Every structure is written in C-alpha cells, then in structure tokens.
C-alpha cells in the first residue's frame, strides 16, 4: 500500500519501526490536534496523521507531486479546525500564504486559537465558499486551491473559486466523499460524474487517488487548471 | 476622467484608470473593522465623503462594492460597476497598491496589516454569532412556558363550561387536547356517536362507554350559541397545542447547534431551561456542578440555608427521567453525576464547540453503576433526627439574638 514518493517537503520518519510522514513544525513546541512532535537533529517535526488528514492519506496512497511548496499561495476551502491546513502551512513556510475559508464559526474558533494565532502565513476567512465575492483579505495570484467541504455542490463551488482566483496552470486538489454528494448512487458512479464536471470546466486530471482504508468511499482528485 | 474607488482593510483608495494613486483615506486605527463593515454595507462615513470631495476632475467612479455604489449614486455620484477583470487586477496588485498609497510602509507591513485585520474581523464575526443564539433559545423556552400556561388556562375554561352540559366526558381523557378535539368536532353531547369516535381512533369499548354516558349524562341542556362559543375556545386550545410543538422543535434544533453536548446529556428542554435560568450558555459554563445541581430550586435552597435543614438535591434537572423515575435514595447521587456532566458539557459547548460523545457514554456508565450499587434503600440512621433538631434550636437562638441587636439600633449585617 505504501509507496515512498519523493516529495521534498514531506518527511518520512521511522517511528517504532513504522514509517510515518511528518512536516517540519513552523512554530516549534505547539501542537494543533494533539499530533506527536518529534525532534531529530535539532529539527522539530509534526507527525501527519493519515486518519485525520485526507491529504496525508493521499500522500501515503501515492500522490506523485504536491503542487505547492515553500512560498506558494494556497486557497483552502473548508479549513475546519486546521488539521490539514496546518501541515500545508508548515510546508509553505514564512514566505507562503494560506487563505483558510471556513463557514462554521464553531470550528473556526479552534482554527483561530490553535493555528492562525501562531502561524503568520495563515489568513482566516470566515465565509461561505459559495460567496467568494465576499472574501476579504485575499491578495495575489493563487497557486493552488484545496477543497474539502463535503457539500453536494462542492465540485461546482471549487470550480467557481478556481475561475476567480486560481492562476492559469495552477492546481486544484479536490476531496470527494461520495456519500455527501449522493447517498444512493454507487461511489464509482459519483466519482465519474464529478470528474466529468471538472474536465468540462477545463481542468486536466493529473491523478485520482482512492483514500481507503483511511477514509472509505473518498477520493482525492489532483487536477490542473488550463 | 474616471476614478476607481478601492476599499481595503485599513483604508480606501481612489485610483485613476491606470491604477495610479489619486488619493487615500486611512481609517482611524480603532475603527478599522467598523469602517470596513460600514462601507461594505453601503453606508457613507464622513471620511469617505471627505475623500471623494477632495478629488478634482473625476466625473465617474468605478466601484467594486455594489451596495456602496448604490448609496453613492443616490448621493448624485456617477457610478459604474467594476468589471471582473478589474476586480482581479486589484486583488493581484493589492499589496503594492497598499504600499504605494501609503496605507502600508512595505510589502511585509501590508501583509501583516491584512492578516491582523482578517483575524480581527474573524473574531468580530465569531462574537457576533456567539453572542446571540443562546439568547434566542432563552426567549423561546420562556415563550413555550407562556404558551403552555395560556393553553392550560383556556383548557380549564372549556372543561368548566362544557362541564355544564356533559360533565362526565372529562373522566375519559388523560390528555387535554384529545378532550377538546372531541368537543370541537361534535359539539352537543347528543352528537357524540360511537362509530364516529371509533373513526377518531378510540377503542370500541371506550367509544361505547362515552356514548352511553352521553345518553345518561347529568348535565343540562345547552343552546347552539353557547356550544359555538365553547368550540371557539376549544379551537384555540388546539392551536396553542400545535404552537407548542413548533416551539419544542425549534428549541431542539437550535440546542443541537448551540449546545450539542448539553443536549446529549440532558436533552434540549432541560438544557434550555438551565441556560435560561442563569441567563446564557457562557454563564452556565462558569458554574460549578454543585450549583447546576440545584439551579431552579433556589426557594428550597434558601429555605434550607435559613433553617439549616438539608439542602435540596436537585432543581431543574429533577425533570430528567433518570432522576425522578429513580428510587428516592438514589436521586441525590444521580443528580450529582448528571450535574457534573452538564458542567463539563457546558464548558465544551461554550468554549470549544465540538461534540464529545464520551460524556454521554460515561454518564450512562455511572447511572448503571448507581443502579447496581444502591439497589436497596439505606438503613435509617437512628442518630440523624436528634442531631438535626439540635441544629435547628441553635439556629433559632441566633436569629433571636439578631433581632435583639436590631432593636438596640446596632448596624445590621
Ligand atoms: C470534511 S471537513 C474539512 C476537514 C479539513 N479539510 C481537514 O482535513 O482538516 C469540511 C469542512 O468544510 C466546512 N464547510 C462546509 N460547507 C462550507 C462552505 N459552503 N463554505 C466553507 N466551508 C464549508 C465545514 O464547516 C467543515 O469544517
């Protein structure tokens, strides 16, 4: 199942004989979701839990390239409490920016207190991703849009956000949970339809990764906006 | 020449069509959020008017925010909506525009300012939503009680009035709504037919006894006009009953959002009453479990303090099924463990906001344990009674003393 891929910003550590992935903690000493902190040769790493983060799951399941790196600008839709967003923040480093869109004030509380407060590259936007016209504080060219909002119309939401903010040639990482789109249809059917929507909107599909056993009936689609 | 009005986090800028800065208005530092929100809503703060009046030879303004555009055109400005391309371009160049206009001293400073503003605005939004929903729940639960009270008052009226005509009917009903429904459907007792009752869902036996007792009723005759008036009131009772359902489901839905953990522990109704009693979710979250346990039993509590008798073991939470259906000797223990869990749940709801399934499970485990451990009533302690009596008499003395002191004109505590 595990394929060790070469993504420079993601580190593979051997913990108790097991291979785990981790990112370098941008704000050493502070945990975001009770993840383990590990110091090796004076560098503090945060273990990245594939059961808590779908991006971690997709890396372990063989995502070939991470579209963002040190200094990139990312628009994250559905940042929730910041589990995944914080690891992206680690990777972007101080010169990058991650705009965290989240609709629910209840989870945004943790996002503010546990991530944004410490991480200078995070900018919170409490807003519905459908109302991208209301995003305040967005600036510059967006290199990557990451979307995980578990809504039936989320592919459309992701597409319209990309059309507005994503640079040409930029990437969209879209998590699809078949159950939140259609409970009755077969997951494979749902995935195919969402993929078609993306192609029709001018996205080139680079890779499709099933996320089981970490998340059942979920996939991550990596596409490029051309 | 056309100008472009660009609203930023820390100030507003007027640009010409080549995106060169024409003029800038920096918001007062203490009122950044306020100014920004006002502008987004389309209000026209004096600072903005000063900015616009200061610029010369601009005959049309291109505006990004449509609300603001509308307000300005009412003020006589020539307004155009910004094109999508322009909006994108402004966003791409936002940082450098902020530096050029003097709103920020450097690119880093601009980024810092944007981030600080984003945090402040997020906090502002969170405060705005978190301040309100529990207050609405408080109003709703109080409305629910008032509706219930009104319903009961009117129900008693129907019962008494219709009782003049058919006093025996009420004895067949436990539930007030079913009783008034029968009255509003049939009117006079001579119209109450067995078959119709069965159609309404009564058992054959019950339908038969009702129709027989209608025939041999001791009640007096009644005119159509009075029956009509009684039926008017009866309909109101029915309407209030369905209103109660509406409020109950409103409270359930909103408690599920505002206080999901409290709701999991004691249900929406009791949870809402606790919040209402103390005046808000945050306030409830600040209380120790011992206070939560007797919340709503203040009268009994003060009586106990005054007379130095045993304090009440439970207030509002007594309505919890686990307490009032348990044997007397277990109730205190159950109340205590429920109160403890409510205290934890309230803190999570007020400050963390996540659903913690563990609380409910741990409560159930504890309730089962109490049931097992204390199945038998405790043996009465013989000493308990004299000890309490002693305390009582001692307490009385002090009160008399106080009185005496008061008469002498000494200061009261
Ligand atoms: C599955 S969770 C995301 C988990 C997150 N990506 C992580 O891995 O840490 C989905 C989030 O999207 C948010 N969401 C749902 N609808 C949204 C919308 N229309 N706009 C913005 N956020 C939304 C939800 O509040 C929730 O926090």
Span A33-57, pLDDT tens digits: 999 999 999 999 999 999 999 999 9
Measured in angstroms, the CA of B235 and the nearest CA of chain A are apart by: 42
Q: What's the pLDDT band for A203 if we cut at 50, 70, 90?
A: very high
Across the beta sheet with B2-7, the strand order is B21-26, B11-16, B2-7, B60-63, B79-81
Q: Is the pLDDT of residue B383 over 80?
A: no
Measured in angstroms, the CA of B115 and the nearest CA of chain A are apart by: 6
Considering only residues B395 and A63, tell me which one the structure prediction assigns the higher pLDDT: A63
Burial A2-28 (b: 16+ CB within 10 A, else e): eeeeebebbbeeeeeeeebbbbbbbbe
Q: By C-alpha distance, which of B38, B108, B98, B90 is closest to B68?
A: B38
CB-CB: which of B36, B117, B122 is closest to A126?
Answer: B122
Q: Is the pLDDT of residue A105 over 50?
A: yes
From chain A, pick out residues whose CB is under 8 angstroms from the CB of B109: none
Task: Answer whether A22's CB lies under 8 Å from A45's CB.
Answer: yes
Ligand 1 pocket residue status of A84, Cβ below 6 Å:
yes
**Least confident window among A7-21, B196-210, B246-260, B377-391:** B377-391
Q: Where do runs of H (alpha helix) occur along B10-103?
A: 32-41, 46-54, 66-74, 84-92, 94-100
* CA–CA dist B13, A196 (Å, integer): 43
- B21-35 pLDDT tens trace: 999 999 988 888 888
Q: By C-alpha distance, which of A48, A91, A56, A55 is closest to A73?
A: A91
The contact set of B with A (CB < 8 A) is: 9, 36, 84, 88, 91-92, 94-95, 111, 114-115, 117-119, 121-123, 125-126, 129-130, 351-354
B247-275 average pLDDT score: 93
**Least confident window among A76-85, A171-180, B175-184:** B175-184
Counting from 1 in the atom list of ligand 1, the atom nearest the Cα of A53 is 8
Task: Answer whether B98's CB lies under 8 Å from B8's CB.
Answer: yes
Per-residue confidence (pLDDT) for residue A1, from 0 to 100: 42
Ligand 1 pocket residue status of A125, Cβ below 6 Å:
no
Counting from 1 in the atom list of ligand 1, the atom nearest the Cα of A54 is 8
- A118-152 pLDDT tens trace: 999 999 999 999 999 889 899 988 999 999 998 99
A92 membership: H or E segment, kind and range? helix A83-92
**Least confident window among A17-21, A221-225, B332-336, B402-406:** B402-406
Considering only residues A226 and B306, tell me which one the structure prediction assigns the higher pLDDT: A226
Q: What's the pLDDT band for A5 if we cut at 50, 70, 90?
A: low
Considering only residues A136 and B138, tell me which one the structure prediction assigns the higher pLDDT: B138
**Least confident window among A16-20, A120-124, B71-75, B382-386:** B382-386
Q: Is the pLDDT of residue B204 over 80?
A: yes
Per-residue confidence (pLDDT) for residue B413, from 0 to 100: 36
CA-nearest residue, atom 15 of ligand 1: A149
Per-residue confidence (pLDDT) for residue B321, from 0 to 100: 83
Residues 6+ apart with CB under 8 A from B201: none
Q: Is the pLDDT of residue A29 over 50?
A: yes
* Residue showing tokens 């009131």: B233
CB-CB: which of A109, A110, A136 is closest to B118?
Answer: A136
* CA–CA dist B380, B376 (Å, integer): 12
Helix, strand, coil % (nearest 5) of chain B? 70, 5, 25
Q: Is the pLDDT of residue B89 over 80?
A: yes
Tokens standing for B40? 């987004």
CB-CB: which of B9, B129, B351 is closest to A105?
Answer: B129
- The proportion of chain B whose per-residue pLDDT surpasses 90, expressed as a percent, equals 56
A162-180 average pLDDT score: 94
Per-residue confidence (pLDDT) for residue B125, from 0 to 100: 86
How many inter-chain contacts (A to B, CB under 8 Å) are there? 64
Ligand 1 pocket residue status of A148, Cβ below 6 Å:
yes
Q: What's the pLDDT band for B200 if we cut at 50, 70, 90?
A: confident
Tokens standing for B239? 């309407």
Burial B161-184 (b: 16+ CB within 10 A, else e): bbeebbbbbeebbeebbebbbbbb
Task: Answer whether B177's CB lies under 8 Å from B238's CB.
Answer: yes
* CA–CA dist A31, A27 (Å, integer): 9
Average pLDDT, chain B: 86
Q: By C-alpha distance, which of A84, A159, A96 is closest to A123?
A: A96
DSSP label at residue A114: I
Contact A112 B91 (CB under 8 A): no
A205-224 average pLDDT score: 96
Ligand 1 pocket residue status of A150, Cβ below 6 Å:
yes
Helix, strand, coil % (nearest 5) of chain A? 25, 30, 40
Considering only residues A194 and B373, tell me which one the structure prediction assigns the higher pLDDT: A194
Task: Answer whether A76's CB lies under 8 Å from A82's CB.
Answer: no
DSSP label at residue A146: E
Per-residue confidence (pLDDT) for residue B411, from 0 to 100: 40
B222-239 average pLDDT score: 94
N residues, chain B: 413
Q: Write down the number of H helices and E strands in chain B.
A: 19, 5
Closest chain A residue to B131 measured between Cα atoms? A105
Q: Is the pLDDT of residue B94 over 90?
A: yes
Counting from 1 in the atom list of ligand 1, the atom nearest the Cα of A80 is 27
* CA–CA dist B304, B66 (Å, integer): 64
Task: Answer whether B275's CB lies under 8 Å from B295's CB.
Answer: no
DSSP label at residue B189: G
B370-395 average pLDDT score: 61
Q: By C-alpha distance, which of B374, B330, B147 is closest to B247?
A: B147
Ligand 1 pocket residue status of A179, Cβ below 6 Å:
no
Task: Answer whether B272's CB lies under 8 Å from B137's CB.
Answer: yes
Query: Which one of B115, B132, B254, B285 would you mutate to disrupt binding with A, by most A Cβ within 10 Å of its Cβ?
Result: B115
Q: Write down the number of H helices and E strands in chain A.
A: 6, 11
Contact B9 A164 (CB under 8 A): no
Q: By C-alpha distance, which of A178, A207, A180, A206 is closest to A193?
A: A178
Q: Where do runs of H (alpha helix) occur along B259-356?
A: 260-278, 281-286, 289-294, 298-307, 321-324, 328-347
B122-145 average pLDDT score: 86
* Residue showing tokens 């808590």: A52
* Residue showing tokens 């945050």: B282
Task: Answer whether A100's CB lies under 8 Å from A137's CB.
Answer: no
Per-residue confidence (pLDDT) for residue B325, from 0 to 100: 81
Closest chain A residue to B122 measured between Cα atoms? A126
**Least confident window among A58-72, B123-137, B151-165, B170-184:** B123-137
* Residue showing tokens 């060790």: A4
DSSP label at residue B222: -
Contact B118 A123 (CB under 8 A): yes
Q: By C-alpha distance, which of B281, B48, B249 is closest to B144?
A: B249
Q: Which of A150, A160, A214, A215 to mutate to test the pocket of ligand 1 (most atoms within 8 A of CB)?
A: A150
Q: Which residues share a beta bridge with A23?
A: A46
- The proportion of chain A whose per-residue pLDDT surpasses 90, expressed as a percent, equals 85
* CA–CA dist B110, A137 (Å, integer): 11
CA A148 to ligand 1 centroid distance, Å: 6
B61 to A77, B6, B88: CA distances (angstroms) = 33, 10, 18
Per-residue confidence (pLDDT) for residue B380, from 0 to 100: 62
Q: Categorise residue B280: left if φ over 0, alpha if ψ from -120 to 50, beta otherwise.
A: left
Considering only residues A79 and B298, tell me which one the structure prediction assigns the higher pLDDT: A79
* CA–CA dist A131, A162 (Å, integer): 13
Contact A116 B36 (CB under 8 A): no
Collapsed DSSP state (helix, strand, coil) of residue B33: helix
Q: What DSSP line would sit under A35-46, residue for residue?
A: --EEEETTEEEE
Across the beta sheet with A142-147, the strand order is A122-126, A97-102, A73-77, A142-147, A166-177, A218-225, A203-210
Ligand 1 pocket residue status of A126, Cβ below 6 Å:
no
Question: Environment class of residue A147 by beta-carbon count within 10 Å: exposed (0-12), middle (13-18) or buried (19+)?
Answer: buried
CA A126 to ligand 1 centroid distance, Å: 11
Counting from 1 in the atom list of ligand 1, the atom nearest the Cα of A129 is 20
Q: Is the pLDDT of residue B373 over 90?
A: no
Question: Environment class of residue A57 by beta-carbon count within 10 Å: exposed (0-12), middle (13-18) or buried (19+)?
Answer: buried
A91-102 average pLDDT score: 97
Q: Is the pLDDT of residue B410 over 60?
A: no
Strand pairing report for B2-7 and B11-16: antiparallel
């Amino acid at each position: 199942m595990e394929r060790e891929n070469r993504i420079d910003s993601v580190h593979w550590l051997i913990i108790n004989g097991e291979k785990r992935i981790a990112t370098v903690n941008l704000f050493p000493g502070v945990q975001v979701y009770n993840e383990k902190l590990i110091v090796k040769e004076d560098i503090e790493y945060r273990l990245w839990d594939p059961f808590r983060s779908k991006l971690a799951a997709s890396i372990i399941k063989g995502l070939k390239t991470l579209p963002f790196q040190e200094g990139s600008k990312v628009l994250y839709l559905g940042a929730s409490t910041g589990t995944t967003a914080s690891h992206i923040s680690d990777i972007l480093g101080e010169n990058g920016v991650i705009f965290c869109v989240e609709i629910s004030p209840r989870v945004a509380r943790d996002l503010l207190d546990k991530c944004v407060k410490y991480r200078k590259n995070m900018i919170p936007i409490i807003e519905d991703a459908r109302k991208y016209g209301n995003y305040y504080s967005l600036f510059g060219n967006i290199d990557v849009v990451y979307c995980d909002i578990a809504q039936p119309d989320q592919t459309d939401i992701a597409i319209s956000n990309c059309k507005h903010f994503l640079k040409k040639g930029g990437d969209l990482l879209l998590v699809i949970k078949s159950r939140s789109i259609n409970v009755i249809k077969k997951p494979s059917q749902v995935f195919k339809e969402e993929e078609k929507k993306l192609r029709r909107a001018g996205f080139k599909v680079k890779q499709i990764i099933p996320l089981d056993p970490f998340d059942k009936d979920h996939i991550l689609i990596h596409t490029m906006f051309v | 020449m056309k100008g472009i009005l660009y609203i930023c986090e820390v100030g507003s800028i007027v640009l010409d069509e080549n995106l060169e800065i024409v003029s800038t208005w920096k918001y007062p530092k203490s009122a950044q959020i306020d100014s920004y929100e006002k502008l987004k809503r389309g209000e026209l703060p004096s600072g903005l008017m000063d900015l616009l009046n200061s610029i010369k030879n601009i005959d049309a303004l291109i505006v990004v925010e449509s609300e603001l555009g509308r307000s300005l055109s009412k003020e006589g400005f020539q307004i155009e909506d910004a094109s999508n391309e322009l909006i994108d371009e402004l966003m791409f160049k936002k940082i450098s525009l902020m530096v050029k206009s003097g709103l920020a001293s450097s690119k880093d400073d601009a980024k810092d300012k944007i981030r600080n503003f984003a945090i402040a605005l997020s906090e502002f939004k969170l405060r705005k939503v978190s301040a309100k929903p529990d207050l609405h729940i408080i109003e709703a639960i109080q409305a629910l009680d008032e509706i219930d009270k009104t319903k009961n008052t009117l129900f008693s009226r129907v019962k008494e009035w219709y009782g003049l005509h058919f006093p025996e009917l009420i004895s067949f009903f436990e539930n007030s709504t079913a009783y008034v429904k029968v009255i509003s459907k049939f009117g006079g007792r001579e119209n109450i037919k067995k078959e119709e009752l069965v159609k309404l869902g009564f058992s054959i036996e019950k339908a038969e006894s009702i129709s027989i007792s209608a025939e041999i009723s001791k009640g007096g005759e009644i005119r159509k006009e009075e029956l009509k008036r009684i039926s008017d009131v009866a309909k109101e009772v029915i309407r209030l009953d369905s209103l109660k359902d509406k409020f109950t489901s409103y409270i359930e839905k909103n408690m599920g959002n505002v206080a999901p953990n409290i709701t999991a522990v004691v249900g929406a109704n009791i949870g809402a009453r606790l919040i209402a009693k103390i005046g808000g979710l945050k306030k409830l979250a600040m209380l120790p479990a011992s206070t939560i346990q007797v919340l709503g039993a203040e009268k009994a509590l003060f009586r106990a303090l005054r007379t130095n008798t045993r304090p009440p073991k439970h207030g509002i939470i007594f309505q919890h099924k686990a307490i009032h259906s348990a044997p007397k000797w277990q109730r205190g223990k159950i109340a205590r463990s429920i109160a403890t869990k409510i205290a934890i749940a309230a803190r999570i709801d007020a400050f963390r906001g996540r659903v913690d399934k563990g609380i409910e499970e741990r409560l159930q485990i504890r309730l089962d344990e109490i049931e097992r451990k204390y199945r038998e009533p405790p043996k009465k302690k013989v000493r308990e009674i004299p000890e309490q009596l002693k305390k009582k008499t001692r307490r009385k003395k002090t009160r008399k003393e106080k009185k005496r002191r008061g008469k002498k004109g000494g200061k009261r505590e």
